[in-house]
Amino acid sequence: MIQIRDTILSDDIFEEHFICHLTKCKGACCVEGDSGAPLEQEEFEQIQSILPEIWNDLSPKAQALIEEQGIAYTDYDGELVTSIINGRECVFTYFDADGTCKCSIEKACREGRIQVQKPISCHLYPIRLQKLSEFTAVNYNRWSICKPAVKLGKREGVKIYEFLREPLIRRFGEEWYKEVCEAAKLLEEEKRADSREP
């Protein structure tokens, strides 16, 4: 475990490889799982405010569910999460011509129609954040559906913290991320030094 400011990062973040491989997984993380994507209260309010802008991008089933129970609910862990259709895909998903599941919030943001980004919990995946009393734990969430992403990351030599540079900076800031990179460098140097020891 590495402590940086008020965060504790698991060693996996520095050691494991990862690059999302959408052509293989087809965006399964937006469909599979026990509940929707975790939301911060501020994100809930932001998404609520831009709902009219993305409404026509949502499926009829998603629209009906949102009208019935809203864009989010509290799951069994007490977390505020996005509503999901029939216990599966998030209400903000859509499927492209190849059958890949994608995010309508992200699409609208990239097209410049809204300024709100997709939830940070989605942007950070496969990292999951856990709030402790004094720290935020930054952990790697292993999931079998992401095996193609692990293989691709190994092939390209990209570690988790490198792949998730943009969302990590979005959540924790540029200076924090620089410290993460410095910690990664030190860990690599220590590993090389250990391997040279007789």
Average pLDDT over residues 121-145: 93
- Can you tell me the distance from the alpha carbon of 89 to that of 94, in angstroms, rounded to the nearest whole number? 9
Which contacts qualify for 104-112: CB closer than 8 Å, 24 or more apart?
104/54, 104/57, 104/58, 105/47, 105/50, 105/54, 107/57, 108/50, 108/53, 108/54, 108/57
Residue-level pLDDT at 31: 85
Please give the model's pTM, rounded to 2 decimal places.
0.88
Residue-wise pLDDT tens digits, 24-61:
998 888 888 778 999 999 999 999 999 999 999 999 99
Residue-wise pLDDT tens digits, 63-96:
999 999 999 999 888 899 999 998 889 999 998 9
Residue-level pLDDT at 129: 93
Average pLDDT over residues 151-167: 97
Is residue 4 scored above 70 in pLDDT? yes
